[in-house]
């Protein structure tokens, strides 16, 4: 199951990257259209939706690779037993909060779909479409946190602690 979830998280990360590319393309198209006198409508909205989707879809893979910004300064100074307890408490709290967030994000997508809500911009889009990236990303992050919490309950170290973060000081 761990490997299957890794594939799912990586796939979501690839989608996150594609949304970042979409933001760049939208921005470039908008810049290129201005001197030609062409008005591209709702580009800010589309870029914003792509940014939200990119952010949330990248969360689970980022957690798995130990690339999240974590406040480890305090935790690293604790004794090993206290460190393990603190990590566990943090996992419980973050799993609960992300579960609630994913539930409400999914509910918002469902309600937008059922009620046929549309965006308010110049280009009307069914609201559930831009909301879906955030909801799916939140659900994947909840699953990733729940998996790490399960590992912790079994007495194993969370996988994000065994993954070495990418070095930010590598020479170019």
Q: What is the pLDDT of residues 141-165, one digit of tens each?
A: 999 999 999 999 998 888 887 766 5
Question: Is 140 a domain residue?
Answer: yes
pTM of the predicted model as reported, rounded to 2 decimal places:
0.87
Residue 168 falls inside a structural domain: no
**Residue 158 domain flag:** yes
Tell me, yes or no, whether 6 lies in a domain: yes
Residue 172 lies in a domain: no
What three-state secondary structure class fits 172? coil
Residue 84 lies in a domain: yes
Question: Helices marked H in the chain — which ranges?
Answer: 2-33, 43-57, 59-64, 72-77, 80-115, 128-153, 159-162
Q: Which residues does residue 118 pair with via DSSP β-bridges, in sequence order?
A: 126
Residues β-bridged to residue 126: 118
In angstroms, how far is CA 95 from the centroid of its own chain? 14
Give the pLDDT confidence of 83-103 residue by residue, as tens digits: 888 889 999 999 999 999 999
Q: Are the beta carbons of 26 and 47 closer than 8 angstroms? A: yes
Work out how many domains the chain is built from and give that number: 1
Q: What is the pLDDT of residues 26-49, one digit of tens each?
A: 999 999 999 999 989 999 999 999
Q: Which domain holds residue 26?
A: 2-162
Q: Is residue 167 part of a domain?
A: no
In a domain, 11, yes or no: yes
């Amino acid at each position: 199951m761990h490997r299957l979830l890794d594939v799912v998280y990586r796939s979501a990360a690839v989608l996150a990257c594609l949304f970042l590319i979409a933001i760049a393309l939208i921005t470039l198209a908008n810049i290129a259209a201005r001197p030609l006198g062409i008005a591209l409508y709702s580009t800010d909205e589309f870029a914003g939706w792509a940014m939200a989707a990119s952010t949330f879809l990248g969360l689970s893979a980022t957690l798995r690779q130990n690339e999240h910004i974590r406040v480890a300064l305090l935790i690293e100074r604790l004794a090993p037993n206290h460190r393990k307890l603190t990590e566990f408490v943090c996992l419980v709290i973050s799993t609960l909060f992300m579960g609630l967030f994913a539930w409400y994000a999914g509910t918002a997508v469902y309600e937008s779909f059922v009620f046929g809500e549309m965006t308010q911009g110049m280009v009307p889009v069914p609201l559930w479409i831009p909301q879906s990236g955030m909801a799916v990303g939140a659900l994947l992050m909840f699953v990733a946190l729940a998996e790490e919490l399960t590992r912790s309950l079994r007495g194993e170290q969370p996988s994000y602690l065994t993954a070495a973060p990418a070095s930010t000081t590598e020479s170019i």
